[in-house]
Structure 1
């Protein structure tokens, strides 16, 4: 399905067989909504499950001007408005986790719970150059130049060997991401910094990290939990895409978290 959100044609998939509370999944940089196929299938009997492509990714159009993570959170708010969702549980991975945090700050009354995987609350000054380098590589050499290093950062060697079809799907999405969309998102993540505001988040929060994540160290994800009162932190035997690599364990954690009394 497509809908125009803030002037951008946006792709989304809505699975509401269960007719239950809204549950929204937000993908990583260089990904699209398909990364959540398995988890969406797991939860759609009990929740109204929403997945969508962030601007400049998948089949969502590219922005015509620079944007920040706050703009991406406003895209989500407009999408929920268009679909008639007053509130939602949010699950965000990597870039999606940054969007989810920003959404919880910008639209606190609309968040039923927050699940953040393999993410951070901001880019340290010494790491800003990494985002500039990735943006430059995408623009100058295309996505092919980033495939190998990104997949090795995202998934452990054991997972890549055991699940070649899953890896190929993730690789294909990354390879077909618009280089300019990827680069503009890199610049948005470079400038992201909401660490000092996390303490104002009051919704139930779960954070999950991959033990072998070399791109976003587990300590960065744990720090989000430490800053939000009552938040829970879990460590999985995975790399950067922990909810995908350990999908059964992540689903069990999320199911228990969502079912707990508020």
Structure 2
């Protein structure tokens, strides 16, 4: 399905067989809603499950101007309004987790619970140049050249060897991401910092990290969790895409967390 949100034609998939509370999943940089396929299937009998493509990703339109993580949060708010969802349980991965944090801070009445996977609450000053360089590289050379090294960071060697079809799909989605959109997202990540505001999050929060994540170390995710009142922190035996690599364990954690909050 497609709907225009803040001037951006946005793809979404809604599974509401269960007709239960809303549960929204937000994907990573260079990803799309397909990263949540397995988890959506797990929860759709009990929840109204929403997945969508961030602006410039997947089948959503490519923006013609830079955007911020706050803009991505505003897109989600507008999408929920368009679909008639008063509030949602919210799950975000990496860039999606940053979007989820911003959303919980900017639209607190729309969030029931918050689950943040493999993400952090700010880009350290020393890492800003990295995102600048990555944006410049993508504008110059395209996204495809980044895919092999990215997949090595995102998934452990054991998982890549055991599940080549999953790795291929994730890599293909990243390859198809427009260079302009990817560069804009890198610059949004460069400027992201909500750490000082996290004490204002008042909904139940679960934070999950991959023990073998080199790009977003578990310590960074844990620091985010410590700044959110009452947040729970868990570590899974995975790299950056813990909800993919440890999908059953992640689903069990999320199910238990939601069961105690619904």
The two structures have a TM-score, normalised by structure 1, of 0.99
Residues 92-121 of structure 1, C-alpha deviation per residue, up to 9 Å, x if partnerless? 000000000000000001100000000010
1:1-262 alignment runs, 5 A limit = 1-261=1-261
How many residues align? The count is 262
Conserved? CA contact 2:113–2:261, under 8 Å: no
Q: Separation in 2 of the partners of 1:121 and 1:241?
A: 17
How far apart are the structure 1 equivalents of 2:11 and 2:39? 18
Mapped contact 2:213–2:238 kept (Cα < 8 A): yes
Kept in 1, the 8 Å contact 2:67–2:188? The answer is yes
**RMSD of aligned residue pairs (Cα, Å):** 0.7
Deviations 1:20-59 (A, max 9, x none): 0000000000000000000000000000000000000000
Bigger mean CA deviation after superposition, 50-59 or 216-225: 216-225
Distance in 1 between residues matched to 2:183 and 2:261, nearest whole Å: 41
| 1:67 Cα deviation from its structure 2 partner | 1.0
| Distance in 2 (alpha carbons) for counterparts of 1:133 and 1:58 | 23
Q: Which runs of 5+ in 2 are unaligned?
A: none
| Per-residue Cα deviation, 1:156-215 (whole angstroms, up to 9, x for no partner) | 000000001111100100111111101000000100000000011000000000000000
Runs of 4+, deviation exceeding 4 Å: none
Task: Give, in whole Å, the separation in 2 of the partners of 1:261 and 1:46.
Answer: 14
SS of aligned partner of 2:41: helix
Q: What is the CA–CA distance in structure 2 between the aligned matches of 1:154 and 1:129, rounded to whole Å?
A: 21
Maintained 8 Å contact 1:137/1:145: no
Cα shift at 1:224: 1.4
CA contact (8 A) 1:153 1:214 kept: yes
TM superposition shift of 1:261:
3.8
C-alpha displacement of 1:225: 1.1
